[in-house]
């Protein structure tokens, strides 16, 4: 939400848009303004919207972190230093501790106190702006940092993307899952994951060739995109395995989404260039939800064990961890 130059509350179109894949690069500069003073936030919003920026507001560091959660698109942070609940310097350090946000540009708002300016830069801020605001300098600094961020994102894209399927790769999947786990544990929200594996994929390669195998992987990845919500994350986990991350989602709801995908895929033959007849491809999978004390490894390991139970008991099925054991997911 933002405030227009006339003082009316307006809703901006893109600050709340979710980014589930690293290919969604910077188009319009979204600026997160963090300050406990309503007047300061209003003044900054008026100034920045006149320069064509989209502005998101937060009253303190805790609220800012929620708006910086995985999936939210923020390109530059402008934050005050002295705020309740979480001071600006702590917010800066927290942002810098998150791998996905390590390069996120941050400008701090300071008075004339040189110690504050030095402390803010030591904490990890890129720059500072002193009160009162210079109506030309601050937008110029923000745009400069936003342009640099766009270049960084373009360079990072290759290291975040699986080149064959153009899904996120395991590195980016790790980052998203770690941050979703931290957010779920911080706020007590549900989080579920599913690990999927293409059945008999080795036979596809052996009988039809590796080109056919690649085409099957691409087709499955495309189908996964169609069922994923914009808040979800889908990554090629390795070989013919895919990881689905479901924020704010219980095991039952995640299992329902994945099982609908499994059933749809089994009924949708995949055409490959080397074969006259389309191939019937199925997947097996396991679903698990975040529990107290979980690590990334333990959460994914439960899904992996469910996947192997699905393989052992017939394939083309989904097993979910419930009540201390794996149970077959059946269509509702």
- Active site amino acids: 240
| Crossing angle of the two packed helices 137-160 and 170-187, in degrees rounded to 10 | 120
Q: Please give the backbone phi and psi of residue 195, each rounded to the nearest 5 degrees, phi first.
A: -115, 125
- CA 131 – CA 65 distance, rounded (Å): 24
Displacement of CA 325 from its chain's centroid (Å): 30
Q: Which DSSP string do the residues of 17-42 spell out, in sequence order?
A: -B--STT---SS-EEEEE-S-HHHHH
69-99 core/surface letters (b: 16 or more CB in 10 A; e: else) = bbbbbbbbbbbbbebeebbbbebbebbbebe
Q: Please give the backbone phi and psi of residue 7, each rounded to the nearest 5 degrees, phi first.
A: 95, -5
- CA 157 – CA 150 distance, rounded (Å): 11
Q: Say if CB 235 and CB 242 are below 8 A apart.
A: yes
The token duo for 151 is 């270049």
Q: What is the dihedral sign for C-alpha 194, 195, 200, 203?
A: positive
Q: What is the dihedral sign for C-alpha 55, 57, 60, 61?
A: negative
The token duo for 15 is 């600050």
133-144 core/surface letters (b: 16 or more CB in 10 A; e: else) = beeeebbebbbe
């Amino acid at each position: 939400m933002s405030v227009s130059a006339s003082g009316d509350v307006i809703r901006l179109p893109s600050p709340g848009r979710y980014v589930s894949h690293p290919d969604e690069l910077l188009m319009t500069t979204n600026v997160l303004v963090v300050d406990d003073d309503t007047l300061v936030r209003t003044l900054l919003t008026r100034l920045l919207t006149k320069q064509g920026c989209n502005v998101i507001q937060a009253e303190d560091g805790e609220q800012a972190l929620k708006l910086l959660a995985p999936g939210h698109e923020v390109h530059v942070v402008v934050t005050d230093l002295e705020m309740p609940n979480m001071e600006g310097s702590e917010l800066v350090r927290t942002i810098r501790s998150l791998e996905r946000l390590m390069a996120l540009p941050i400008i701090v708002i300071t008075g004339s106190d040189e110690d504050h300016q030095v402390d803010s830069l030591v904490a990890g801020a890129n720059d500072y702006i002193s009160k009162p605001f210079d109506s030309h300098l601050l937008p110029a600094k923000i745009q400069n940092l936003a342009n640099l961020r766009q270049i960084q994102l373009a360079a990072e894209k290759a290291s975040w993307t699986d080149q064959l399927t153009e899904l996120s790769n395991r590195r980016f999947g790790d980052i998203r899952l770690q941050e979703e786990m931290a957010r779920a544990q911080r706020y007590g929200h549900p989080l579920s994951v599913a690990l999927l594996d293409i059945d008999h994929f080795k036979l596809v390669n052996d009988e039809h060739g590796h080109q056919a195998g690649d085409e099957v992987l691409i087709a499955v990845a495309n189908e996964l995109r169609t069922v994923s919500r914009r808040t979800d994350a889908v990554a090629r986990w390795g070989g013919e395995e895919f990881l689905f991350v479901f924020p704010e989602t219980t095991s039952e709801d995640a299992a329902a989404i994945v099982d609908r995908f499994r059933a749809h895929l089994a009924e949708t033959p995949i055409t490959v260039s080397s074969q006259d007849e389309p191939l019937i491809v199925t997947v097996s999978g396991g679903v698990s939800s975040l529990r107290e004390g979980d690590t990334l490894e333990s959460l994914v390991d439960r899904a992996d064990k469910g996947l192997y139970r699905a393989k052992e008991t017939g394939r083309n099925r989904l097993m979910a961890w419930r009540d201390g054991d794996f149970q077959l997911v059946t269509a509702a």
